[in-house]
Amino acid sequence: MNCVKEFQVNLTKMLELHHIGNLVDDIDSAIETYKLLFGNDCASDKVFVATQGVYVCFIDIGKSVFLELIQPIDDSSLVYKMKKKGITYYHVAYKTKDFNAASEYLISCNYKTLNVFYSEAFENKRCQFMFSPEGSMIELIED
């Protein structure tokens, strides 16, 4: 598969925006703050994602789009250094029914990949972080 314009329509049909990742220092406090904005039912359960060394919670911000709150457990977490540098919003995530095809296409468009992992936050389905040629991070989530 080549990264050409004709495939862009297929990719837009293949990917569905799911969430925006936001690093926080205290996930419980952040959940309470967002409940004030979006109501008590807006937050998912807090989940520990062992492969990433983080706790996550999804805040329903409307139209099937979520804000993912991410708290590193300690300085061994992959995102701990990002948070220490003041980075908070750092990735956009998309669900896809054809994980392999979406990943292969993005690779053909010069996206750089990190390892595939199975996330407890998505019923142990495959996930993969990727960097665009411009350096923006996305996450693919198997649907």
**Phi and psi at residue 84, to the nearest 5°:** -65, -30
- The string of pLDDT tens digits covering residues 58-115 is 999 999 999 999 999 999 998 999 999 999 999 999 999 999 999 998 998 899 999 9
Give the pLDDT of residue 6.
Answer: 57
Q: Where residue 1 falls among pLDDT bands split at 50, 70, 90? A: low
d(CA 27, CA 14) in angstroms, rounded, equals 31
Q: Collapse the DSSP code of 19 into the 3-class scheme (helix H, G, I; strand E, B; otherwise coil) and give the result.
A: strand
Alpha-helical runs (H) found in 55-113: 80-84, 99-108
Give the pLDDT of residue 40.
Answer: 94
Q: Is pLDDT of 9 > 60?
A: no
Q: What is the CATH number of the domain that holds 131?
A: 3.10.180.10
Residue spans of beta strands (DSSP E) within 24-123 = 47-49, 54-62, 65-72, 89-96, 112-113, 117-119
Number of independent structural domains in the chain: 1
d(CA 140, CA 77) in angstroms, rounded, equals 20
What dihedral do alpha carbons 79, 84, 90, 95 form, nearest 10°? 30
| Domain assignment of residue 120, given as a range | 5-142
Half-sphere exposure of 89 (CA within 13 A, CB side): 6
- The string of pLDDT tens digits covering residues 27-65 is 999 999 999 999 999 999 999 999 999 999 999 999 999
Q: Are 70 and 115 in contact (CB under 8 A)?
A: no
In the 8-state DSSP scheme, what is residue 77?
A: S
